[in-house]
């Protein structure tokens, strides 16, 4: 609803993967497998008429496109032409293309609009794609229409549940949150001013080699989670640099909300608001406070914009971006259990930037990357909106929170 209403038109547009496949590739099997995926999941056959109306077609809305190229550069140039944002006024919110370099080397691109896919959906679709491809190469039949777990059924169930006691309980919780903190998402606690076009910059702040061990130790002693620990560090840093008594951030949550709907393919991601209400004297107290808050937030989590519209209440601000977004470790699309995706081939992901990726000109994106030999904090922000010294102070305060939590 938000995308179709014009909100977030410049962000979250695409979920995609581009990869080189080495080995024997059966193009006919690829086409049959992708058709099976589209027939098995109605969300891939959906088109949107308006923010309140969608249409699900019986047949697939796009075939596998095939190209050839004489060089790798030409192949990547071809892929860039198809990895572009979708027109929501059109039909078809997915694309898949193969560029052949030679008999044993192909460039594969899978592009979906974020309005129909999230992280869990992607993994489910790719697992089915790989399974259906293997069946097709063996001459076995690929499944036709799914008999249950349709996205359409989920939307009907959610609307019904939001009108029952289940929904009323959540409505009361989020009304109380709104009364205490205001509408979501949480704003940045320091006034900032736009100074021209957005200029996204990235800061890679190196952490000590034992950063992950430190975070795990704090989480263990606070009886919380690693994510709450790093989120507490960011929120405590916000309090320090802004001197605000209450600060907030958001984090993406890929969940199905309703019981029994975990296997449904579709868009169920929402931003979860996190709040820190009082300056604690010790880091462990801060982590425990935030953990207690997140238990309730995740228990009652809802897509706040759509729920608010249904209840005719303003739970989320439509004209404000989250001041800070925080995640733990880098989120990337994968193929499920195996990185090969299509049997008989090996895959190498191509890091390719395409239009439609997250920009968030008025949000500081704060990501803790603790896995690997070189742990770091990666911060993306618009340097023509957020002062550099404020962002730098926030990073240092967040790191200090983790490093000083030994006492």
Q: What one-character-per-residue DSSP string does 309-370 give?
A: HHHT---B-TT---SEEEEES------SS-TT-STTEEEEE-----TTS---TT-EEEEEE-
* Mean pLDDT of the 286-303 span: 91
pLDDT of residue 325: 94
Residue 5 pLDDT greater than 80, yes or no: no
pLDDT of residue 273: 93
CA gap 310, 116 in Å, rounded: 20
Confidence of residue 337 (pLDDT cuts 50, 70, 90): very low
Confidence of residue 53 (pLDDT cuts 50, 70, 90): confident
229-263 pLDDT, tens digit per residue, is 999 999 999 999 999 999 999 998 887 778 778 78
> Which stretch of DSSP H or E encloses residue 48?
strand 46-50
Is 136:342 a contact under the CB 8 Å cutoff? no
Taken in order 246, 270, 363, 318, the sign of the CA dihedral is negative
CA gap 176, 183 in Å, rounded: 10
pLDDT of residue 329: 82
Nearest to 37 by CA among 115, 154, 99, 121: 121
CA gap 78, 95 in Å, rounded: 13
> Which stretch of DSSP H or E encloses residue 205?
strand 200-206
* Mean pLDDT of the 44-49 span: 86
Burial of 6 (0-12, 13-18, 19+ CB in 10 A): exposed
- As given in the structure block, the two tokens for residue 12 are 């979250």
CA gap 250, 366 in Å, rounded: 10
Confidence of residue 391 (pLDDT cuts 50, 70, 90): very high
pLDDT of residue 338: 47
Q: How many CB atoms lie within 10 A of CB 347?
A: 18
Domains of the chain, first to last:
14-147 (3.30.559.10), 182-323+362-403 (3.30.559.30)
Residue 406 pLDDT greater than 80, yes or no: no
* Mean pLDDT of the 66-86 span: 91
pLDDT of residue 257: 76
93-146 pLDDT, tens digit per residue, is 999 999 999 999 999 999 998 888 888 889 889 999 999 999 999 999 887 776
Mean pLDDT estimate for the chain:
87
pLDDT of residue 157: 86
* Mean pLDDT of the 204-210 span: 95
Confidence of residue 336 (pLDDT cuts 50, 70, 90): very low
């Amino acid at each position: 609803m938000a995308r179709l209403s014009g909100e977030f038109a410049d962000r979250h547009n695409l979920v995609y993967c581009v990869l080189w496949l080495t080995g024997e590739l059966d193009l006919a099997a690829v086409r049959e497998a992708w058709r099976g995926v589209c027939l098995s999941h109605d969300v891939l056959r959906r088109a949107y008429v308006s923010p309140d109306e969608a249409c699900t077609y019986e047949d697939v809305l796009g075939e596998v496109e095939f190209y050839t190229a004489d060089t790798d550069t030409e192949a990547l140039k071809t892929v860039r032409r198809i990895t572009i944002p979708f027109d929501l006024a059109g039909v078809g919110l997915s694309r898949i293309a193969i560029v052949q370099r030679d008999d044993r080397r192909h460039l594969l691109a899978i592009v979906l609009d974020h309005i129909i896919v999230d992280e869990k959906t992607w993994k489910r679709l790719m697992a089915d794609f790989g399974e259906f491809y293997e069946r097709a190469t063996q001459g076995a039949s690929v499944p036709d229409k799914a008999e249950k777990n349709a996205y359409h059924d989920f939307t009907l169930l959610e609307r019904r549940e939001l009108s029952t006691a289940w929904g009323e309980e959540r409505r009361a919780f989020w009304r109380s949150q709104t009364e205490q903190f205001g509408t979501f998402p949480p704003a940045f606690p320091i006034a900032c001013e736009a100074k021209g076009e957005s200029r996204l910059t990235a800061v890679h702040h190196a952490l000590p080699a034992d950063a992950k061990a430190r975070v795990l130790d704090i989480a263990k002693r606070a009886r919380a989670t690693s994510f709450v620990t790093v989120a507490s560090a960011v929120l405590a840093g916000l309090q320090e640099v802004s001197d605000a008594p209450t600060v907030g951030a958001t984090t993406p949550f890929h969940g199905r909300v309703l019981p029994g709907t975990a296997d449904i393919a579709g868009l169920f991601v929402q931003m979860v608001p996190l709040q820190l209400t009082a300056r604690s004297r010790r880091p462990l107290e801060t982590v425990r406070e935030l953990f207690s808050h997140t238990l309730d937030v995740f228990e009652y989590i809802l897509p706040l914009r759509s729920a608010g519209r249904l209840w005719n209440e303003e739970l989320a601000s439509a004209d404000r971006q989250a001041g800070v977004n925080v995640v733990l470790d880098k989120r990337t699309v994968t193929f499920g259990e195996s990185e090969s995706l299509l049997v008989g081939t090996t895959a190498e992901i191509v890091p390719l930037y395409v239009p439609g990726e997250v920009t968030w000109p008025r949000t500081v994106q704060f990501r803790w990357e603790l896995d690997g030999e070189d742990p770091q904090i990666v911060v993306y922000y618009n340097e023509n909106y957020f002062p550099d010294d404020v962002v730098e102070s926030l990073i240092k305060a967040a790191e200090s929170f983790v490093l000083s939590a030994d006492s």
